[in-house]
Amino acid sequence: MNGHIRRTEDFRWKDIPVSAYKPGGTHFAGITRQLLFDGGEGLRCQLRYFEVAPGGYSSLERHRHEHAIMVIRGQGRALVGERILELATHDLVRVPPLTWHQFRPGGEQPFGFLCMVDCGRDRPERPDAKVVAELRRDPGIAEFIRL
């Protein structure tokens, strides 16, 4: 097992493919995924690097599993629960269980973040029309979310 994976260029690593964010779907845009760490013998978590291009967005979703996130490229904004967060490089974000969340770049630069998750996790749930209507009661959230 190779315990040292070198960076090859900015935000790229040797033999780590740049993949689709999720298989199929139109509920996200301009986002790629790199699986940096895929669990150990006693460390049952994955570390992924996601990068969102200007104008892109991650899916609006929630699930029982949690995310621990660190911004490592650029700046962005995130819906986490009922708040829109302004995120700078090296900020940390925790997404608690069953909390609606979505990430977007803050401007015209790529927005990249590391995201740690449990290897054994539940499938994300997407909002139905009722949930979207509830979220949109807040004007800031209404402006922010992308479906």
32, 42, 58, 67, 103 from 113: Cα distances, Å: 11, 24, 12, 11, 10
Q: Give the count of beta carbons closer than 10 Å to the beta carbon of residue 32.
A: 18
From CA 4, how far away is CA 22, in angstroms rounded? 26
Place of tokens 């029309």: 129
Running DSSP on this structure, what letter comes out for residue 62? B
Residue 91: which residues within 8 A CB-CB, separation 6 or more?
A: 70, 71
Place of tokens 């998750």: 117
Which residues participate in catalysis according to the annotation? 115
Place of tokens 């700046």: 75
